Amino acid sequence: MTGWDHYLNAASGGKTRWYHWLGGFWLIFIGWIFAQVFLTSPIIPLIESADPEIAAQITAASLDMLTDDNVQKLALYGFGFLTLGAIGTGFWIAARSVKEQDTAQIMGFMALIATAIAIIFSVKLAPLLSDAESTKLMTQAMGLNPWIYICFLLIFPGTLIIVYLIQKYWHSRSITSLHTAFKTYNWSRTFFAIGVFWAIAAMVSVIGHVSGLSPLKLQFDPSRFFGFAIASLLFIPLQSATEEIVIRGYMNQGFGQYIKNPWVVFIITSLFFMALHLANPESTSSAEKGIFMHALTMSSYFSFGYLLCILIYFEGGLETAIGVHVANNLFAAIFVNYEGSVLPTPSVYIASINPSYDLPLNMAMLGLITFILVKTRPRSLIDKIKAPLAQAIS
């Protein structure tokens, strides 16, 4: 058995019927929306106190979206999304509660229909809530001071708490079984992955600078650097780990229960990971340069996600995947950032984007990191994996 087989088995205990997984996905989505609403509520006052001009531009961009036609659509799609979402959640709770199997199946099917319609409403609703200009301004606002930056990052641990509650009380499984197929989380593998990533990323940055293909510009500003660096060290690991636990963890385990080919599962979750980054500044700016550049940029997100899935396949847990993701984001936030980054932090160096050089080299770099981590995994890895079914149930 591979590490992937053991990791899937860790999710086979507890409540694992299809409507439990579908309900779990839906509850995570709803939780993520509420985390955004509540945890980002202080952002506008903070922006107004830091830079009234940017706050006024954000307000103006938001008002521009509130045309009569948009308001009507917002009301329609918003009402449909909330109503059908509530109905679907009610059916899932009912399906989870009833003991009669046929009744549970009917409730689950009704939940599926209601949720599918709610998702259609959400897809229609999302473009009405933001546009490229407002997204660009909000990203710019993140770099005004560390408190605004922290408010954005808090969305992720807020969502993670919801994921853990779903894992514990909806699926009746241990939280550890979401992280790894081992009895305990292997922190040494996470820190080792961070070290490997930083060593290779630093080497690649130096080569790019010396060769002139991707020159670095020193922008170290002590008055701004340390506040953002501390915030990054505290909250970037939570942000990165949340993405891994939800996508490479919960989603992989969920789809893996019904799709037996792991490589198909990895394609699905990597496409979802890519889609989550469509609103990033680098994505929107590449779209302005044509479909080829946009496809090239988005493929880097897909490849990043897929390579992390490969690590899970061999290791049976999220330890190294989380380490690589944390290292990637911290390296950009603190050491070498790039122009137009979604993390507008005052890093030590800033690099100009050179897609023809950066994207292929980054993919090669991530491939090398993945190869090293797979080859250096403990040989007794599979032997140490816990008996999954017996210990996955809390």
Q: 143-163, pLDDT tens digit by residue?
A: 889 999 999 999 999 999 999
Decide if 287 is inside a domain: yes
Decide if 326 is inside a domain: yes
Decide if 166 is inside a domain: no
Decide if 130 is inside a domain: no
**Inter-residue contact 349 to 337 (CB < 8 Å):** yes
Question: Of 160-174, 191-205, 376-390, where does mean pLDDT reach its minimum?
Answer: 376-390
Torsions phi, psi of 337, nearest 5? -95, 180
Q: Per the confidence metrics, is the pTM higher than 0.75?
A: yes
Decide if 5 is inside a domain: no
Q: 337-365, pLDDT tens digit by residue?
A: 987 777 889 999 998 777 667 778 888 99
| Strand segments (E) across the chain | 216-218, 336-338, 349-351
Decide if 24 is inside a domain: no
* Number of domain units in the chain: 1
Decide if 378 is inside a domain: yes
In this prediction, residue 352 carries a pLDDT of 77
Which residues constitute the domain of residue 349? 181-386
Place of tokens 């399906």: 95
Decide if 352 is inside a domain: yes
In this prediction, residue 380 carries a pLDDT of 57
Band (372; pLDDT cuts 50, 70, 90): very high
